[in-house]
């Protein structure tokens, strides 16, 4: 028993020392991130991973230690990685990222890594209590023309701002399922913010998803792209469009929900592993439920709703006026604010809220 207590003490001491070593050289925010950073840089650095296993893991979509640390062991086993190996390497990857059992103080330390990024629209920032939080998913849903894609395109630029200006000094990964993204919109938003449009475009990594399967595959293979490009914002616009079109009929509801569930889990794991903001958009459906509800109901039902995240409904107003309403959030109170869609992005300062 005594031996165990000593071991725990020694480990805490070593961790504290590790933190001390990091802190003097960096700003408080970078220091927090260093604490969270993986100890192992490549898959081959992990104990017990040789070239063959590394290749297999890459083929399964785990190209970085960060992604592996949040991988379900069962998924690796189901895909031909031996049970012992799967357990060993995921555990090692988790240890390297402090994703093991931790005490409350250590949890507090990790939670400090959560950052907020501005939306560039002050009423929305106020609704979000300062901005969008990293390591969590925010969903915008509305009927067509609600402003979802406009918000996404603005965020793809805002994330690039330095932290002092409310950004995350990172890139954006944009998975577009509806072929709506237009570079000239990014250019207009960038110019309006006084940024070099070419530099901004370079940091937006774009992929068009042609089917739901392709969409899921793009995300499953995203970890290396995220790491190499310092992606701090992952957008899936729209999350549900393909799923809704492909899985028609009641008999396909269960498989659709299962796929959506896996997709959302992958997204939250990536957001946690890379301390990134995750944004999904969603349409509304005309389900019988909406008869009883004042607001339309988002597509995806319980699965999309069950993964704890912030859901924001966008309601159309006159002309370019919109209202954003928090419908559910694990950490934000309910509320709503107006904003406007303009040719240089979304704004609302003049609305005085």
Ligand X SMILES: Nc1ncnc2c1ncn2[C@@H]1O[C@H](COP(=O)(O)OP(=O)(O)OP(=O)(O)O)[C@@H](O)[C@H]1O
Interface positions with Mg ion (CB under 5 A): 148-149
Q: 149 or 347: whose CB is closer to Mg ion?
A: 149
Residue 273 in tokens: 């592993």
Contact residue for ligand X among 48, 50, 145, 183 (CB under 6 A): 145
Q: According to CB under 6 A, which one of 136, 283, 310, 329 is a site residue for ligand X?
A: 283
Residue 341 engages ligand X in binding (rule: CB under 6 A): yes
Q: How far is the CB of 141 from ligand X (least distance, A)?
A: 9
What is the rounded CA–CA span in Å between residue 313 and residue 324? 6
Q: Does position 148 bind ligand X by CB under 6 A?
A: yes
Q: How far apart are the first and last CA of the chain?
A: 59
B/e letters for 140-158, b = 16+ CB within 10 Å, e = fewer, are bbbeeebbbbbbbbbbbbb
Residue nearer to ligand X on the CB measure, 32 or 177: 177
Calpha distance 338→124 (Å, rounded): 8
Helix axes 212-220, 253-273, angle to 10 degrees: 20
Q: What binding mask, one character per residue, do residues 155-194 give for ligand X by CB under 6 A, x or -?
A: -----------------------x-x--------------
Q: Does 142 bind ligand X (CB under 6 A)?
A: yes
DSSP string covering 190-236: HHHTT--HHHHHHTEEEEE--SHHHHHHHHHT-HHHHHHTTEEEEEE
Q: Are 174 and 237 in contact (CB under 8 A)?
A: yes
- Picked from Mg ion, ligand X, none, the partner binding residue 342 (CB below 5 to 8 A depending on kind) is ligand X
Among Mg ion, ligand X, none, residue 283 binds (CB under 5-8 Å by kind):
ligand X
Which of residues 71 and 204 has its CB atom nearest to Mg ion in the complex?
A: 204
Query: Considering only residues 32, 118, 138, 150, which one is a binding residue for ligand X as defined by CB under 6 A?
Result: 150
CA–CA dist 99, 347 (Å, integer) = 39
Q: Which does 64 bind (CB under 5 to 8 A by kind): Mg ion, ligand X, none?
A: none
Structure-block tokens of residue 179? 């072929």
| Three-state secondary structure string covering 101-136 | CCCHHHHHHHHCCCCEECCCCHHHHHHCCCCEECCE
- Rounded CA-CA distance 46/289 in Å is 50
Q: Which does 142 bind (CB under 5 to 8 A by kind): ligand X, Mg ion, none?
A: ligand X
Subset of residues 310 to 329 that bind ligand X, contact rule: CB under 6 A: 320
Residue 215 contact, options Mg ion, ligand X, none, Cβ 5-8 Å cut-off depending on partner type: none
Q: Which residue is nearest to Mg ion (CB)?
A: 149
- Name the site residues for ligand X (rule: CB under 6 A): 142, 144-150, 178, 180, 283, 320, 341-343
């Amino acid at each position: 028993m005594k031996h165990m207590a000593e071991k725990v003490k020694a480990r805490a001491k070593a961790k504290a020392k590790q933190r001390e070593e990091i802190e003097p050289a960096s700003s408080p925010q970078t220091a927090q991130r260093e604490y969270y950073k993986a100890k192992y840089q490549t898959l081959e650095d992990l104990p017990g991973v040789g070239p063959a296993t590394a290749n297999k893991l890459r083929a399964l979509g785990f190209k970085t230690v960060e992604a592996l640390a949040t991988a379900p062991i069962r998924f690796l086993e189901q895909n031909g990685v031996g049970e012992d190996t799967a357990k060993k390497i995921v555990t090692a990857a988790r240890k390297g990222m402090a994703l093991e059992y931790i005490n409350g103080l250590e949890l507090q330390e990790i939670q400090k890594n959560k950052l907020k990024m501005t939306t560039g629209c002050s009423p929305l920032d106020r609704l979000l209590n300062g901005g969008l939080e990293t390591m969590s998913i925010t969903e915008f849903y509305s009927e067509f023309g609600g402003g979802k894609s406009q918000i996404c395109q603005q965020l793809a630029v805002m994330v690039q701002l330095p932290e002092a200006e409310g950004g995350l000094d990172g890139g954006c990964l944009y998975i577009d399922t509806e072929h709506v993204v237009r570079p000239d919109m990014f250019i207009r938003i960038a110019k309006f913010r006084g940024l070099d449009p070419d530099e901004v475009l370079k940091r937006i990594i774009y992929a068009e998803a042609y089917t739901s399967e392709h969409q899921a595959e793009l995300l499953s293979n995203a970890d290396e792209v995220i790491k190499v490009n310092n992606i701090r914002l992952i957008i899936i616009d729209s999350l549900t469009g393909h799923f809704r079109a492909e899985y028609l009929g009641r008999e396909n509801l269960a498989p659709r929900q299962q796929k959506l569930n896996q997709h959302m889990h992958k997204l939250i794991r990536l957001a946690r592993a890379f301390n990134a903001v995750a944004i999904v958009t969603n349409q509304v459906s005309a389900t019988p439920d909406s008869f009883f509800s004042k607001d339309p109901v988002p597509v995806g039902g319980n699965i999309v709703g069950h993964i704890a995240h912030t859901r924001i409904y966008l309601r159309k107003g006159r002309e370019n006026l919109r209202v954003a309403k928090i419908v559910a959030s694990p950490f934000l109170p309910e509320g709503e604010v107006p904003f406007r869609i303009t040719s240089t992005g979304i704004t609302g300062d003049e609305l005085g809220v």
